[in-house]
Amino acid sequence: DDAHGPVNDDFPLAYIEWFTPFNQLEKISGMYIVHRSSRAQRRNTTVVSVEHLIRNYHLMAKAGANIDHTWTTDNVLE
């Protein structure tokens, strides 16, 4: 039993990396700026049964002027 309830073996598990709440909009894109959440200087993560998921969010990385053009969806996750 964990903080989110018992894990049901009938459903696959999801690895969750938590981020800070929405509170600041980036003025050009109008998108919220978030940062990785941490506890004791470690990433705040959880493993939960997918039956507990309500929705997902797609995060876009903040990129500077120089982007490595060899990056693709096959070789970069973040």
- Listed by start position, the domains of the chain span 1-59
Strand-pairing partners, residue 19, are 36
CB contact set of 27 (below 8 Å; sequence gap of 6+): none
pLDDT digits (tens, 9 = 90+) for 35-69: 899 999 999 999 988 888 888 777 777 766 777 78
**Which position has the higher pLDDT, 3 or 46?**
46
**pTM of the shown model:** 0.56
Distances (CA, A) of 43 to 8, 17, 24, 27, 31: 25, 7, 21, 27, 23
User: Can you give the pLDDT at residue 37?
Assistant: 93
